[in-house]
Structure formats: structure tokens, C-alpha cells
């Protein structure tokens, strides 16, 4: 029950941040939107920056749930399709409308580290699916690192334009995006690989 309340709080905070901007929204206003006192709010979170951290953790948990679903795919491409589709639906249904693109700079340093590590872990799992697909022939040879940077970018950008009252619902967007991304990666046409400038350094 307490967890439920906290999730509701995080969503409301995300909504307020999205509407007015993180730096233009006070914790008082979040409390007001939730119809609770600021003291009640402090029972759950230490401050605005922690709330921001919690919104990102919620998205990362959706990512993990999507990976779980993705694992049941038969080929690498199918794993990827399932993961992406599920992730978009989860985010759009539950969260994207209240989400916003935020910078890590606005979080506390210890939270920045946690988010960075979890984002990287998620990224590496998606790269594995791409590599699986290259190995099993479902995905055309490519640089998994760039492929994931490319496909996750389009997904991460959704909160910037998604309108929960708009023409396209979460399922329709997921279907269309999975289709574009899948055709972009699928084997069957010659692909140009990224040509590294040097072999020793990291792109991301």
C-alpha cells in the first residue's frame, strides 16, 4: 500500500515536472497536486531531486520487465522486437504522458551513479540481443553499439511528442516503431557497418 502511494506520488511529480519544467516546479506544488501536505510528501521522499531519481527508476524497471518478455523470442531479432514493443507500451500506458526528458545533472551524485549503471546494464542486454540476431542470421551484420544507440534514441524521444489524448495509442505506436526498427535491422539487404576511426576507444 505504501509502495502504491509512492508510485502515485512519483507519477504526479513526473506530470507536474513535465507541465511546468523540473526547475519551475516546487515540492509545494507537487504536494498540492497530490492533495497532501508537504510533510506527508517528505515521509516518502527527501526532496525534488530524489523524486526525479524515482521517476527514472520507474522507467528502468519497465525496461527490465520488457527484457524479461524479450528473452522468450526465438531469434535475436524477435527478442529485440518483443523487448522494444513491450517497453513502449509499458511506458506509454503508464508513464510517458507524465514523463519528460531530464538530465542526470539535476539528480544527486549518488543517484546519478545508480541510474548510469542501470542504463548501461539495460543497453548491454539490448546489444546482446542484436549480437544474437547477427549470429543467428536474423539481423544484418552491423555494429551493435551503434544499432542500440540508434533504436533506443527513437524510443527515448517518445516522451517529447507523445500525446495521451492523441491519434495514436501506445499499442499503435509500439507496432509501428517495432516495424520500422525491425526492417531497419533485418537481414536480407546489404548493410554498411560503422567504420571505427580507431579500435581502442569507446563510442559511448
- What is the nearest approach in angstroms of a copy of itself to the Cβ of residue 160? 7
Footprint on this chain of a copy of itself (rule: CB under 8 A): 20-24, 100-101, 103, 105-106, 142-143, 146-147, 149-158, 160-163, 165-169, 172-173, 175-177, 179-181, 183-186, 189, 191-199, 201-204
CA 179 to chain CA centroid, nearest Å: 18
- What is the nearest approach in angstroms of a copy of itself to the Cβ of residue 9? 21
Quote the DSSP letter at residue 96: G
Which DSSP string corresponds to 17-83? HHHH-GGG--HHHHHHHHTS-HHHHHHH-SSHHHHHHHHHHHHHHHHHHHHHHHTT-SSHHHHHHHH
Distances (CA, A) of 50 to 13, 101, 114, 187: 11, 16, 12, 43
Tell me whether residue 34 or residue 178 sits nearer to a copy of itself (CB atom): 178
- What is the nearest approach in angstroms of a copy of itself to the Cβ of residue 34? 21
- What is the nearest approach in angstroms of a copy of itself to the Cβ of residue 200? 8
Tell me whether residue 7 or residue 154 sits nearer to a copy of itself (CB atom): 154
Amino acid at each position: 500500500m505504501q509502495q502504491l502511494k509512492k508510485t502515485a506520488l512519483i507519477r504526479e511529480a513526473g506530470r507536474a515536472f513535465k507541465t511546468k519544467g523540473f526547475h519551475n516546479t516546487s515540492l509545494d506544488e507537487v504536494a498540492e497536486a497530490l492533495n497532501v501536505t508537504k510533510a506527508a510528501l517528505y515521509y516518502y521522499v527527501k526532496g525534488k531531486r530524489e523524486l526525479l531519481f524515482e521517476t527514472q527508476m520507474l522507467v528502468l524497471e519497465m525496461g527490465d520487465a520488457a527484457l524479461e518478455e524479450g528473452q522468450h523470442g526465438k531469434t535475436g531479432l524477435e527478442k529485440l522486437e518483443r523487448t522494444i514493443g513491450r517497453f513502449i507500451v509499458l511506458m506509454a500506458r503508464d508513464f510517458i504522458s507524465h514523463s519528460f526528458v531530464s538530465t542526470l545533472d539535476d539528480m544527486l551524485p549518488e543517484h546519478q551513479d545508480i541510474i548510469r549503471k542501470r542504463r548501461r546494464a539495460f543497453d548491454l542486454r539490448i546489444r546482446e540481443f542484436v549480437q544474437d540476431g547477427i549470429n543467428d542470421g536474423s539481423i544484418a551484420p552491423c555494429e551493435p553499439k551503434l544499432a542500440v544507440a540508434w533504436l533506443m534514441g527513437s524510443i527515448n524521444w517518445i516522451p517529447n511528442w507523445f500525446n495521451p489524448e492523441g491519434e495514436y495509442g501506445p499499442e499503435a505506436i509500439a507496432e509501428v516503431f517495432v516495424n520500422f526498427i525491425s526492417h531497419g535491422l533485418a537481414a536480407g539487404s546489404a548493410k554498411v557497418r560503422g567504420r571505427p576511426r580507431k579500435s581502442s576507444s569507446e563510442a559511448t
